[in-house]
Amino acid sequence: MKTEYYVGKVMKKIRLLPKRIRNRIKRDMENSITDRLENGETLQNIETEMGIPSQTALDILDGFRPEFKWRVSLLRYAYIFCALVPLLYILSVLVYVFTTPNPGGFISYTKFFAELFRELSAVAMRPTIIRLMVNFVLYLFICAFGYILYSQQLLLKRNYILAMFCLSLVIGITLHPSVYGVDTSHILYNTVGISIFGNSPVLWGLLQPQFFLAIYTAIACLLFYIRKSSQLTTFQNEFPE
């Protein structure tokens, strides 16, 4: 093991910490290894004493966690709840569409898939089912963003958070029934037989769970981004080079 190799390995693992802190850690670590060498320790012994690079990196990240740990527990649970609602909703609508005779012209999903793969034009003819599938995939993306956001906030670069914000916003807009979201009004109307939307389907569309989740995620990303930016600025001011 060489000093540069060890330090390089650690630096790679903590690359998402602010640059000023990384530079400082790098210098301190190099100094420490040099001190150990001057003190008669061997390189192999140093790795045993200091721990393997990945463990050292984890210790460093863990040590900085209090500065970056935000109170997200409540928000995390709220997010899980908001994510489960559209899942139940989408799954129940999928079951409805696949099992109700003739909602999109098919008797069963078996026949649907058979016709889908036999004749491409079937895709265009059966928008509800295709919409649901696209909605479901987009929903999974949103859930993935939410998971990353609430579990990896320390490791996330601000640019990644910003990218997730943009994507969530685009997906959110796509999931609105006026664009490509599942048209709840028709499905519920057909199922229940009553209209609860009055004359404002656009407004109702705002309350649809999968759309709501996407917008929730976008707002959360934006807030995390702003918070991380301000926190890093404060942190860097506290530890100038």
Whether 168 and 218 have beta carbons less than 8 Å apart is answered as yes
Residue 69, interface with other proteins (CB under 8 A)? Answer: no
State the sign of the Cα–Cα–Cα–Cα dihedral 33, 36, 42, 44: negative
Written as one letter, the residue type at 37 is: L
Longest dimension (CA), the chain: 84
| Residue number, 55 or 195, with CB nearest to other proteins | 55
186 near other proteins (CB under 8 A): no
Can you list the alpha helix ranges (DSSP code H) found in 14-126?
A: 19-38, 43-50, 53-68, 73-99, 109-118, 121-125
Query: For 204, phi and psi rounded to 5 degrees?
Result: -60, -35
Backbone dihedral angles phi then psi of residue 16, each to the nearest 5 degrees: -90, 0
Q: Closer to other proteins at the Cβ: 77 or 239?
A: 239
Establish if 239 lies at the interface with other proteins (CB under 8 A). Answer: yes
1, 43, 47, 67: residue in contact with other proteins (rule CB under 8 A) = 67
The correct pick among 40, 44, 66, 200 for binding other proteins (CB under 8 A) is: 66
Candidates 123-131, 165-173, 208-216, 233-241 — which segment interacts with other proteins by CB under 8 A? 233-241
CB of 14 vs other proteins, minimal distance in Å: 9
Q: Any idea what DSSP says for residue 91?
A: H
Q: Is 4 in the site for other proteins (CB under 8 A)?
A: no
Site for other proteins (CB under 8 A): how many residues?
Answer: 31
73 binds other proteins (CB under 8 A): no
Binding of other proteins at residue 119 (CB under 8 A)? no
- Quote the tokens at residue 69: 């740990």
Q: Which is nearer to other proteins, 27 or 111 (CB)?
A: 27
Q: Determine, following the binding rule CB under 8 A, whether residue 32 of this chain makes contact with other proteins.
A: yes
Site for other proteins contains 29 (CB under 8 A):
yes
Give the H or E element holding residue 161.
helix 158-175
Q: Does 44 bind other proteins (CB under 8 A)?
A: no
Does 183 interact with other proteins (rule: CB under 8 A)? no
d(CA 48, CA 197): 67
DSSP 8-state class, residue 176:
S
Please report, as a single letter, which amino acid is at residue 215.
I
Q: Which residues bind other proteins (CB under 8 A)?
A: 10, 21, 24-25, 27-29, 31-32, 34-36, 38-39, 49-51, 55-60, 62-64, 66-67, 235, 238-239
